[in-house]
């Protein structure tokens, strides 16, 4: 059938549009249209291609999935060997590498030679040296070969010389262009090889392992193994289901492309549609190189993918050639290694503590293990449902991870290490602190101790009361609160203001064992006691909204306390308000309003408030506070990735209701970046600019609690 020219044109335009939106979404993380709109364009193209089979092309966005499963992968020889990297385990070794290459380049530049060589020697002058620092992605190295602008072959690194042809799996990864993005009229190079690292975002890794554990299938010890497992699937439909992505870091073999430096190669890749990590930076000064490596080691946990180091590369290709390769490692690059951020250890038992609202919080007690450079023996486990969904059992070997958070997390059990002796977990029917029968309110996953006089709840609520964001009582830390409670000096937060100096002076707060093996007690001295009383005095001046937050009313975090105070100027006004009146406040919903009403309906809470009022705390606003601006006024937020509990539009509305602004890109003026699942390059940019990054949970806590 002859294809009418207007149809060919339409198909071409659809492909160009889809390709552009694919690039905006998967490479730049700046979507311009909704998923629904993308799907609509996609089906339009698919229908036309079906109707006019003559128009089909392997570069079409419709051709990412659909290849048949293979019986085995074919072996392919790389046009240039895929090398590895020498390691620097610390800053000293990094400095050594720097001195070595400077010496080698100086020697190479000074060889006696003819006139022709002189110009070449100029290129080796070390005063002009520059470096590129890149994150070392812990994934799977691959090579992509584009012939005349189209993806012709994708392969794994294999042994560096020969790898496996995994083209059909790589085609399913949206961040890999099926064709080079060219300027109008630009001719593609005859051949170009782009190399990069395939990775699985951490959230996807967790989900993947959860699914496998639930199905009783072997789990992966880290995201690298999971990514490699997905790329090495014989059925491309399986790889297509994993949200794999790529960071491209090198131009390898090429014909018809002249590049002089690595930074030129990076620019070429970016302008031709490849995903290059925005953290990559060029430096002319080696001190800045070291600072960058150190900086990433500190901030790595904020990224949503695993990095196991930083790669330092010399920028100039002339210098690469002069330095050459030793064994498999080029002299012009070095990997500054970090400690691995995942580890496998033995889960000895699941402990339970009771929070200030009575929630029973399970936590993992593990055999100490080093992860991300620190030794950990405890990790959080969110709730019983989460533990069972992940099929984590007492006695299991577990994968733990320190990422996105400083607190380590248990990702999944290592199913293949089970002996059968592992025990499924259930939260206790009796509160571990006071022995009350626990309850599970309908519709909640949290199990609670209902006893208001439960010692754990009281201690935790006093800790909250004195904490930084609340009354900020300097010198009264968690240990001291526990000690004073166990001695009976504190039964309630109001007792803080009736403490007597003689109760504190000489009080043993902790003990330690010295080098001689004798136990030494640490006791409060007069000076520290005087400081504590000054801090308590100071806390009497905290504004009403801080006091309201410090009371620890459920759902009333610092922002909600400010919202409530902006409408109710005294505790008396709030106490007598009906839930309907309370929920009139913008940003305050019925659940919060009920919680406020419930709190003030308790006689013993009223008594606490009265005692605190008598102690001189602020229970009404002064004139300045009443006119206080909205809590997020002047703050600019950027949203990236998918938020699971609310849409981006809804999140924007919330932020704006609280006086904040939402911007589409990360820049100097950004205050917070909210990173949902599968965040894109905006997250990396935020890390680079050292912006405060909030997980979805932290963001929700900011706006709702
Ligand atoms: S450059 C000679 N750059 O690290 C150049 N490699 O240990 C070698 N890797 O096989 C590659 N991030 O899989 C380079 N930004 C990066 C990298 C990187 C991760 C991996 C790559 C390589 C291994 C070498």
Mean pLDDT value of segment 421-446 = 93
Structure tokens at 534: 């000054």
Domain with CATH 3.40.50.10190 in the chain: 629-704
- Residue 395's region, left for phi above 0, alpha for psi from -120 to 50, else beta, is left
Largest CA distance in the chain: 99
DSSP 3-state of 13 = helix
Residue 62 scores a pLDDT above 90: yes
* Cα-to-centroid distance, 84 and ligand 1 (Å): 6
Q: Which of 103, 111, 136, 417 does the annotation list as catalytic? A: 136
CATH 3.40.50.300 fits domain 544-626:
no
Residues 437 and 356: their CA atoms lie apart, in Å, by 17
CB–CB of 108/154 below 8 Å? no
Regarding the beta carbon of 280 and ligand 1, being less than 6 Å apart is answered no
Is any ligand 1 atom within 6 A of the Cβ of residue 411?
Answer: no
**pTM check: above 0.85:** no
What stretch(es) of the chain map to CATH 1.10.150.20?
455-512+520-539, 544-626
* Tokens 């002996």, residue located: 419
Most confident of 59-68, 78-87, 507-516: 78-87
Residue nearest to atom 3 of ligand 1 (CA): 249
Residue with tokens 């949203």: 639
- The pLDDT, as a whole number, for residue 628 is 52
pLDDT at 34 over 90: no
Which residue's alpha carbon is nearest to atom 22 within ligand 1? 84
Contact between 527 and 551 (Cβ < 8 Å): no
If you count them, how many residues does the chain have?
Answer: 705
Rounded CA gap, 93 and 97, in Å?
A: 6
**What is the Rg, in whole angstroms, of the alpha carbon atoms belonging to the chain?**
30
Residue 675 half-sphere exposure toward CB, CA atoms < 13 A:
26
The second-level CATH assignment, the architecture, of 629-704 is 3-Layer(aba) Sandwich (3.40)
Confidence bin at 30 (pLDDT 50/70/90): confident
Rounded to the nearest angstrom, the distance between the alpha carbon of 255 and the centre of ligand 1 is 22
**Residue 83 Cβ contacting ligand 1 at under 6 Å:** yes
Indicate whether residue 137 lines ligand 1 (CB < 6 A).
Answer: yes
Centre of ligand 1 from the C-alpha of residue 76, in Å = 20
Task: Give the pLDDT mean for 56-76.
Answer: 89
Residue nearest atom 24 in ligand 1 by C-alpha distance: 84
Domain topology for 5-64: Helix Hairpins (1.10.287)
| pLDDT tens, position by position, 168-226 | 999 999 999 999 999 999 999 999 999 999 999 988 898 889 888 888 889 998 999 99
State the alpha helices, DSSP H only, in 346-446.
384-389
540-585: pLDDT as tens digits: 999 999 999 999 999 898 888 988 998 999 999 999 999 999 999 8
Would the CB of 171 count as within 6 Å of ligand 1?
Answer: no
Helix (H) / strand (E) element for 249: namely strand 245-255
pLDDT of the residue at 703: 74
CA separation for the pair 32, 387 (Å, rounded)? 38
Distance CA 79, CA 81 (A): 7
The whole-number pLDDT of residue 112 equals 61
Best mean pLDDT range from 62-66, 421-425, 628-632: 421-425
Q: Whose CA is nearest to atom 13 of ligand 1?
A: 141
Superfamily of chain region 455-512+520-539: 5' to 3' exonuclease, C-terminal subdomain (1.10.150.20)
Segment holding 268, helix H or strand E: helix 262-271
Q: Write the pLDDT tens digit of every residue in 135-147.
A: 999 999 999 999 9
Q: Is the CB of 322 under 6 A from ligand 1?
A: no
- If you average pLDDT over residues 8-23, what whole number do you get? 94
What dotted CATH number matches 126-337?
3.30.470.30
491 a catalytic residue = no
Check pLDDT > 60 for residue 626: no
Range 297-318 average pLDDT: 91
Q: Is the CB–ligand 1 distance for residue 136 below 6 Å?
A: yes
What atom of ligand 1 comes closest to residue 87's alpha carbon?
A: 7
Q: Which two tokens stand for residue 596?
A: 């406020």
Question: Which stretches of 86-235 are DSSP H helices?
Answer: 91-109, 115-123, 167-171, 202-214, 223-231
Domain ranges in the chain with CATH number 1.10.287.610: 5-64
User: Looking at the chain, which residues constitute the CATH 2.40.50.140 domain(s)?
Assistant: 341-451
Quick one: CATH architecture of 341-451? Beta Barrel (2.40)
As separate numbers, helices (DSSP H) first and strands (DSSP E) second, the chain gives 26, 24
pLDDT, tens digit, 9 for 90 and up, residues 378-406 = 998 888 988 999 999 999 999 998 854 56
Least confident of 31-40, 412-421, 652-661: 652-661
pLDDT greater than 90 at residue 120: no
CA distances from 9 to 14, 44, 54, 181, 505 (A): 9, 13, 13, 18, 86
Q: Ligand 1 center to residue 262 CA distance, Å? A: 13
Ligand 1 proximity of 350 Cβ (cutoff 6 Å)? no
Residue 390 DSSP label: T
**394, 350 Cβ separation under 8 angstroms:** yes
């Amino acid at each position: 059938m002859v294809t009418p020219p207007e149809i060919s044109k339409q198909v071409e335009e659809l492909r160009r549009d889809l390709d552009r939106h694919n690039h905006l979404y998967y490479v730049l993380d700046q979507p311009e249209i909704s998923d629904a709109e993308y799907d609509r364009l996609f089906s339009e193209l698919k229908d036309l291609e079906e109707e006019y089979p003559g128009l089909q092309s392997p570069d079409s966005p419709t051709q990412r999935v659909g290849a048949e499963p293979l019986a085995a992968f074919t072996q392919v020889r790389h046009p240039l060997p895929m090398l590895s990297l020498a390691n620097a385990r610390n800053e000293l070794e990094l400095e050594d590498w720097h001195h070595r290459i400077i010496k080698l380049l100086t020697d190479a530049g000074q060889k006696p030679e003819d006139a022709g060589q002189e110009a070449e020697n100029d290129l080796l002058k070390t005063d002009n040296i520059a470096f590129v620092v890149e994150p070392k992605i812990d994934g799977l190295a691959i090579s992509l070969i584009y012939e005349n602008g189209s993806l012709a072959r994708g392969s794994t690194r294999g042994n560096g010389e020969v790898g496996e042809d995994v083209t059909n799996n790589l085609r399913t990864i949206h961040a890999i262009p099926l064709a080079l993005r060219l300027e109008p009229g630009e001719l593609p190079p005859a051949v170009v090889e782009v190399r990069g690292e395939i990775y699985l975002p951490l959230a996807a890794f967790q989900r993947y392992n959860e699914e496998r554990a639930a199905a009783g299938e072997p789990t992966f010890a880290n995201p690298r193994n999971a990514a490699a497992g997905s790329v090495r699937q014989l059925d491309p439909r399986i790889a297509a289901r994993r949200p794999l992505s790529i960071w491209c870091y090198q131009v390898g073999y090429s014909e018809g492309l002249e590049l002089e430096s690595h930074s030129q190669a990076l620019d070429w890749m970016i302008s031709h549609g490849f995903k290059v990590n925005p953290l990559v930076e060029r430096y002319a000064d080696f001190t800045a190189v070291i600072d960058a490596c150190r900086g990433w080691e500190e901030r790595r946990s904020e990224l949503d993918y695993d990095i196991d180091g930083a790669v330092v590369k010399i920028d100039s290709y002339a210098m690469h050639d002069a330095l050459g390769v030793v064994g498999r490692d080029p002299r012009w690059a070095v990997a500054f290694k970090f400690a691995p951020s995942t580890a496998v250890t033995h889960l000895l038992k699941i402990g339970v503590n009771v929070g200030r609202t009575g929630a029973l919080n399970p936590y993992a007690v593990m055999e100490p293990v080093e992860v991300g450079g620190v030794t950990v023996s405890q990790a959080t486990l969110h709730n019983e449902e989460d533990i069972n969904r992940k099929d984590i059992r007492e006695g299991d070997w577990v994968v733990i991870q320190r990422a996105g958070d400083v607190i380590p997390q248990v990702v999944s059990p290592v199913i293949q290490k089970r002996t059968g002796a592992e025990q499924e977990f259930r939260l206790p029917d009796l509160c571990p602190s006071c022995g009350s029968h626990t309850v599970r309110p309908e519709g909640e996953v949290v199990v609670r101790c209902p006893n208001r006089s439960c010692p754990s709840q009281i201690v935790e609520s006093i800790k909250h009361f004195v904490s930084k964001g609340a009354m900020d009582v300097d010198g009264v830390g968690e240990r001291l609160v526990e000690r004073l409670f166990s001695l009976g000096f504190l039964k309630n937060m109001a007792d803080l203001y009736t403490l007597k100096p003689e109760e504190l002076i000489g009080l043993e707060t902790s003990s330690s064992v010295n080098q001689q093996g004798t136990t030494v007690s640490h006791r409060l001295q007069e000076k520290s006691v005087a400081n504590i009383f000054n801090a308590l005095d100071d806390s009497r001046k905290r504004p009403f909204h801080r006091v309201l937050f410090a009371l620890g009313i459920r759902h009333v975090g610092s922002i909600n306390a400010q919202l409530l105070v902006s409408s109710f100027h005294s505790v008396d006004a709030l106490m007598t308000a009906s839930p309907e009146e309370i929920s009139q406040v913008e940003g305050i919903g019925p659940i919060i309003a009920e919680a406020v009403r419930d709190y003030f309906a308790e006689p013993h809470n009223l008594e606490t408030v009265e005692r605190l009022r008598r102690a001189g705390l602020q229970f009404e606003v002064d004139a300045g506070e009443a006119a206080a601006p909205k809590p997020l006024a002047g703050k600019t937020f950027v949203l990236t990735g998918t938020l699971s509990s609310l849409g981006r539009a809804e999140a924007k509305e919330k932020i704006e209701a609280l006086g904040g602004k939402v911007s589409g890109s990360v820049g100097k003026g950004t205050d917070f970046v909210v990173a949902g699942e599968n965040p894109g390059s905006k997250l990396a940019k935020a890390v680079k600019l050292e912006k405060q990054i909030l997980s979805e949970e932290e963001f929700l806590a900011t706006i709702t609690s």
